[in-house]
Amino acid sequence: MQLDRLVKKGLVAKDRDKTPQEFGATVDRSRFLGEALQSMADRVCEGSLAPLLMNLAGRAELSADEKAELRRLLGDEEDEA
């Protein structure tokens, strides 16, 4: 079962005491996406997120808010360097 694989990965918890059994997420969406993107970058981009993110951003129709958020994030990174 697909959900059992997610339980084994620690992404989903199963409540065996309830019938039918209940499943629930153990990580939030942001953390899951971050880990999934890093895993993909490790497999296809030698660990670098930059090529993956540039490709995604170049293909997507980003809203003004999304563009502003990307600029904010990039600005924060430059300040930390």
Query: What is the domain extent for residue 18?
Result: 2-80
* pLDDT confidence of residue 42: 95
Asked if 10 and 26 count as a contact pair (C-beta separation under 8 A), the reply is: yes
* pLDDT confidence of residue 58: 84
**pLDDT tens across 4-55, in order?**
898 898 889 998 888 888 999 999 999 989 888 899 999 999 999 899 888 8
Is 70 exceeded by the pLDDT of residue 76? Answer: no
Bond from prior residue into 51 cis (ω within 30 degrees of 0): no
Domain count within the chain:
1
